[in-house]
Amino acid sequence: MIVFLVLCGVLAGAALAILLPPLVGRARQRGGRRVASNTAVYAEQLAELDAELHAGNLSREQWTAARAEIERRALDEAPEKDTVVASSRSRVAAVAVGVTVPLVAIALYVLVGSPQALLPESGSGAASPHAVTSAQIDAMVERLAQRLKSEPGDTEGWIMLARSYDVLGRFAESASAYAKAAEQRPDDAQLLADYADALAMAHGRNLAGEPENLIARSLKLDPNNVKALALAGTAAFERGDYRAAIGFWQQGLPFVPEGTEIAQSMRSGIAEAEARLGAPAASSAPARIARVAPGGAGSASIRGKVSLAPSAAGKVQPEDSVFVYARAAEGPRMPLAILRRQVKDLPFEFVLDDSMAMNPSLKLSDFDKIVVIARVSKSGLATPQKGDFEAVTAPLGRGAKNIRLEIAKAIE
């Protein structure tokens, strides 16, 4: 592990040595924040790429081709000579990037990657003395949050942080990060719907108040936004307005893939609302509509169903986290799309798509072969821990459907 970290540090340093000099000497008169942000993203990608090479997940040819593509994009977005001027602030940005890029790259890899795979103790049945604790992960995420404070104009960065908090179940912090992004992009209907969902989760799944205001703003911008319609129907049901709930859910159904969990939940909600028409609002119970993943529905997706094997049922708790995610069969181990549920929700249908990416530069549609993992996490962490249970598919093609995952295997 120490050798791996040293190699990552050397290679990240080399990447920064290439990318930072233009930032030290020059800064855009306009769009400076965007250049600094892109530089950080490219540096993170280079560090991740180098880590995958040394972990044996990439061949030398794959590494060379991917690195060349990243460097090409970095050069394409470099500022022209006639659009830059000397700036002392650029030196400050260079120092910030130089310090935070390696930390953020490691933080993201530890948060959603598989650092245990790099340890010789992995799979031996003994707990690794180098295992990352929840407190350490929290600290790494906080460093990412601090970087965004120094670059508050990085909207995509705030969205990435919000989704990361959402996956970790830290809904109040997720809502706060979404608020930052929404300030900069107030006309993004999907972003407003995601913000409303996170805020409602932070308030104990209560959509009343500000969440409903955000939902209304989202639907005004996009009347057919699936997530906003699902949330609006649930909010109407909660206040006893069953006709409105039915209307919202019926409007959203044509835009939801048939057979998915959200489609089934909408139909169930409609049936329950129809049965309750005419009943006093006070006697009603809120319909349980499945959460729509941040981002809504994406173009590239894989679908399936997750269940728990009887042999594992007595060894987990209803509140234990269930992570379902896809990663490249050959390439980066960082999840390309991820969702989180609880054991009490099993069995459930799932859809993974590009909108559920934690890193916008790594998407499901970028890879031809995908592996899907379902894991019951007793610690609540996305990284595998001893005592967890999981199921892993063979490599699948993009657009795979009817995947069946039965969680049974214990991680030793």
What is the SS3 assignment for 6-68? HHHHHHHHHHHHHHHHHHHHCEECCCHHHHHHHHHHHHHHHHHHHHHHHCCCCCHHHHHHHHH
Tell me, yes or no, whether 139 and 6 share the same domain. yes
Using DSSP's 3-state secondary structure scheme, residue 320 falls into: coil
Strand 301-308 relative to strand 403-407, pairing = parallel
- Does residue 108 form part of some domain? yes
Count of structural domains within the chain: 3
pLDDT at position 335 = 80
Of 241, 257, 283, the last residue of a domain is 283
- Does residue 172 form part of some domain? yes
Of 224, 256, 283, the last residue of a domain is 283
Q: Are 197 and 203 in contact (CB under 8 A)?
A: no
Beta bridge partners of 351: 303
Tell me, yes or no, whether 235 and 327 share the same domain. no
pLDDT at position 255 = 84
pLDDT at position 229 = 92
Tell me, yes or no, whether 235 and 182 share the same domain. yes
More confident residue, 325 or 114: 325
- Does residue 162 form part of some domain? no
Tell me, yes or no, whether 35 and 141 share the same domain. yes
- Does residue 92 form part of some domain? yes
Instruction: Express each pLDDT in 268-299 by its tens digit.
Output: 889 888 988 875 444 444 455 666 666 654 44
pLDDT at position 393 = 93
More confident residue, 213 or 302: 213
Tell me, yes or no, whether 237 and 181 share the same domain. yes
- Does residue 198 form part of some domain? yes
Tell me, yes or no, whether 110 and 235 share the same domain. no
Range of the domain at 141: 2-114+135-147
Tell the burial category of 264 from Cβ atoms under 10 Å away from its Cβ (0-12, 13-18, 19+). middle
Which of 133-147, 164-178, 230-244 comes out lowest in average pLDDT?
A: 133-147
- Does residue 278 form part of some domain? yes
- Does residue 310 form part of some domain? yes
Helix (H) or strand (E) holding 392: strand 389-392
DSSP classification of residue 116: G
Instruction: Express each pLDDT in 190-236 by its tens digit.
Output: 999 999 999 999 998 889 999 999 999 999 999 989 899 999 999 99
Tell me, yes or no, whether 139 and 185 share the same domain. no
What CATH number did the domain enclosing 262 receive?
Answer: 1.25.40.10
Give the pLDDT mean for 81-96. 42
- Does residue 157 form part of some domain? no
Instruction: Express each pLDDT in 323-375 by its tens digit.
Output: 998 988 887 777 888 888 899 989 988 888 877 776 666 778 888 899 999 99
pTM > 0.75: yes or no: no
pLDDT at position 163 = 83
Q: What percent of the chain has pLDDT over 90?
A: 27
More confident residue, 73 or 318: 318
Beta bridge partners of 322: 341, 376
pLDDT at position 93 = 44
Tell me, yes or no, whether 328 and 402 share the same domain. yes
Tell me, yes or no, whether 279 and 178 share the same domain. yes
What CATH number did the domain enclosing 330 receive?
Answer: 2.60.40
